[in-house]
Structure 1
Amino acid sequence: MNPCGTPDDTGLLLTSADVRRLAADIGLRPTKTLGQNFVVDAGTVRRIARASGVGSDDTVVEVGPGLGSLTLALLARAGHVTAIEADPDLAEALPGTVRRRAGALAGKLDVVTADALRVTRLPGPEPTAMVANLPYNVAVPVVLHLLELLPSLRHVLVMVQSEVADRLAAAPGSRTYGVPSAKAAWYAEVRRAGAVSRNVFWPVPHVDSGLVELRRRAPVATTASRAEVFAVIDAAFAQRRKTLRSALSAWAGSASAAEQALRAAGVDPGARGEALDVTAFARIAEHGPGG
């Protein structure tokens, strides 16, 4: 620890040259398919680790640790880190990188070689936090999957494409509010936690990124299941320009049945999905075909 009481990462974090050397050592050429854009700016890594708020009592899940830039910063703060990496070459190399740069921290790391969307259980202590740099094409499904799979997760901080960050954190009535916003709200209070320049990545992507913070909240009070509520959300936004009476007709069995469910839920059949919060979707689900 430094005199200010924060972890001392002097000589610990990867530089831009370190990242490129590690990639060359394993013959890695970053691919768009896997969304491989690695953070090469230590200042950004410090900022993310600090913003995550994790401490020695936390077990952190990191998805897509890549070459270990963020992993090292998290190990300096957290009690334990479980890193989920889909690329077997990266997963194999990560423990060695940690041993060489911070041998005393190596025992706090578990590496799981898997697609995060297919993970059904994790080794080690129950995770309390998730911190990750997520590829934009899987960001929302990964966040939702792990919030459902790991009820012990209390706090999530993810770096995602700026547009995805806007969608996750959008409030009802806004232009960007939709399926990701409503489903994330089922689990947590969500907010934008800052912007990240494209220039801190290698290779440099074509878009900027944003940080999104999710803090788990009390479950929505409803007799409907998560699957039932999510089915309403999906139907409401499948044709977002239509009124809910029309958009939910297939879900309810007919337009008249949809109107009946909406009125029973206290929702205007002429409204559109973007006007509703997750509790309204839950009320509709309670009066739907399975309610």
Structure 2
Amino acid sequence: MPEGARPVGATPAPRGVDVSTVPPGTPCWVDLATPGLDEARRFYPELFGWTGRVDPEPEAGGYTVFLLSGRAVAGAGPPAVPDQEPIWSTYVATDDANLVVGRVRRAGGQVVVPPFPVFDRGRMAVFADPAGAAFSVWQPMTFGGTEMSDRPGTMSWTELVTPDPEGAKEFYGLVFGWQPYDERPGPGTYAAWRLGDRVVARMVSPPAGGSPLDGPAYWSVSFAVADADATAARAAEQGGTILVPPRPVPTGRQAVLRDPEGALFAVTTHPTPSRQG
């Protein structure tokens, strides 16, 4: 993404947000690059109950921070280049974007966009892993990223879909210190990454019949919802597409959707923990 084309988190952080508490190596923000920004501002608030705050900086190109209960949960802006496909992107927190450049190169990845400042909010860079999956890093200054998660209408998790899970385990371990473990035995791959004692991301093999995206590997974004079936139906009513109907997954019940401009995302209902007594 060229400098100034689509800044991430292009809004000052609310007072009281301590960006120093964002753990490095943790996915901290997701945003949408889309040529249909006005449509995104309509579709996602109707789907998730978000409101939008447009950045006043002219260079931000109308970048919008979506809010839930007044807290930043995701962003959307114009694409970096005119022919870019609409896509949700994952950002991983770092305390030094320049150091990540060296780690990515040594691990066999590519530097797509070197680190650059996004106003006074932070610094970002864009990379690709050896299988071609794109991801970004975010070095916070006045904006720390997502201010709410793991509740309906917020980012639930990010998941790598890759034909090379063993290579991915090595690469992300070298770059972020993630430790993988298999969550589901049997054919195919369904694994999670831990950073310390926290699960920070997941990884799956491509679905049978091929990837819903053009590339062989990609990062997908899942948003938590109270009812995946109802949310999928509402998305279709609002002009979206149901790619994979709601179905059980190891973490709950999930549907894979496209928004009206074609951006891929998932919605997941997590099981409610049972209460004893």
Give the structure with the higher percent strand. Answer: 2
Q: Could you state the TM-score of these two structures normalised by the residue count of structure 1?
A: 0.27
Q: Which has the higher contact order (CA 8 A, sep 6+)?
A: 2
Structure showing greater radius of gyration is 1
